[in-house]
Copies of this chain bind each other. A is one copy, B any other.
């Protein structure tokens, strides 16, 4: 018997409220240059410190030892889905990041403008990194001329600089396809072809992309420098069992950035719109507390400053988060988790594979008798080091949402 099937069989419903608070990329590493402190250790966090007295700590491997996740797999694991089993294409993630309301079966691709010569050879893969305004202009031109191909709707949305996204919304399509990108200059744009499956659906998708190129390239002909475009990560939004089907909990997503709302929407969470900062987010939690069982609350600045390598700003972001925490605690959830979706160490200036520190507080979590919530502290906790995909299961257990296994 498969473990997920067992978990499903044991799942119970009750009136408990659960909150998963994600400080994106909060985990860090202590190095000499920072006096052997992490931003979490250097920050003053009286509210989290108070919570740790009644909580259990541990560290979570985001995917598998040594694997650095993007935001997609990082969050899917936090939502309790095996991130290797449920893979989401880059096009889909990019579309979600631009706030496109994707539906299961939609095929999405990351695209960017490029320059080709008279023979169709790519001479600049980024079209000289054209400004966002020009990208928006070109996307509008394409959008106005290409709204449909046969029975399929085409959605084109500009991103930053030379980047944009194309979504094909129709019937009977699926990915993944190989990239319409030679990945270096001096070669023509290759035709995307089926990668794994050669099903009728994948073949239809390949034809659709080819038809899109046929319609779009003439519209750009003669323009300079952006007279063509590349497409990568062409795949469909997979059918993922919804959060409610899987855990019997109505789930809400409270986030500022569209990417995280999109990831939550992938598993069927309801997006609560309008928050501009963490105080807003915690207030929304309080306002919506009766309407949902589970709340995913996302805090972005820790990751942004980690990516910048800005230790001081990351430390301050943590302090701002901690200062806002009492709003949430005014109506504390029965099970509260504070963690990250991956680490973003300042010394790496990017996501990393380091296990995330995790704090879990419930009437049944017990106390690990730790004074603070930090990377070093969480190494000593009762949760040990575990795979992130099990966090949701521990939250269910702490909410008494599991029946006993066997007699």
Interface residues of chain A, those whose CB is within 8 Å of chain B, are 1, 3, 6-7, 10, 28-32, 36, 38, 53-54, 59, 63-73, 83-85, 87-88, 90, 93-94, 233, 345, 347-348, 350-355, 363-369, 375-376, 379-386, 390, 393-398, 402, 404-407
A233 to B72, CA, bound (A): 42
A93 to B368, CA, bound (A): 35
**Would you give 28 A-B contacts (Cβ < 8 Å), ordered by A?**
A1-B87, A6-B84, A7-B67, A10-B67, A28-B366, A32-B53, A59-B382, A63-B405, A65-B386, A66-B395, A66-B398, A68-B397, A69-B404, A70-B406, A72-B406, A73-B405, A73-B406, A83-B405, A88-B406, A94-B407, A233-B407, A345-B366, A347-B364, A353-B394, A366-B375, A376-B382, A383-B385, A385-B385
Tell whether A366 pairs with B407 under 8 Å between CB atoms, given A6-B67, A382-B379, A393-B66.
no
Q: Which residue of B lies closest to A94 (CB)?
A: B407
A63 to B10, CA, bound (A): 13
Partner of A393, one of B65, B345, B381, B383: B65
A382 to B345, CA, bound (A): 14
Give the shortest distance, in Å, between A343 (CB) and chain B (any CB): 9
Q: Which residue of B lies closest to A362 (CB)?
A: B29
Give the shortest distance, in Å, between A20 (CB) and chain B (any CB): 14
A384 to B385, CA, bound (A): 6
List 11 extra interface pairs beyond A65-B393, A66-B398, A233-B407, CB under 8 A: A38-B366, A66-B396, A69-B404, A83-B406, A94-B407, A351-B404, A354-B366, A368-B379, A379-B381, A380-B380, A385-B386
For the complex of A and B, list the 4 residue pairs with the smallest distance between their C-beta atoms, beginning with the closest: A29-B366, A384-B385, A66-B397, A66-B393
Tell whether A384 pairs with B382 under 8 Å between CB atoms, given A345-B366, A347-B363.
no
Q: Which residue of B lies closest to A92 (CB)?
A: B407
Tell whether A59 pairs with B364 under 8 Å between CB atoms, given A69-B404, A406-B93.
no
Q: Is there contact, CB below 8 Å, between B407 and A70?
A: yes
Q: Which residues of B contact A84 (CB under 8 A)?
A: 1, 3, 6
Q: Is there contact, CB below 8 Å, between B30 and A353?
A: no
Tell whether A402 pairs with B66 under 8 Å between CB atoms, given A84-B6, A384-B59, A385-B386.
yes
Give the shortest distance, in Å, between A78 (CB) and chain B (any CB): 13
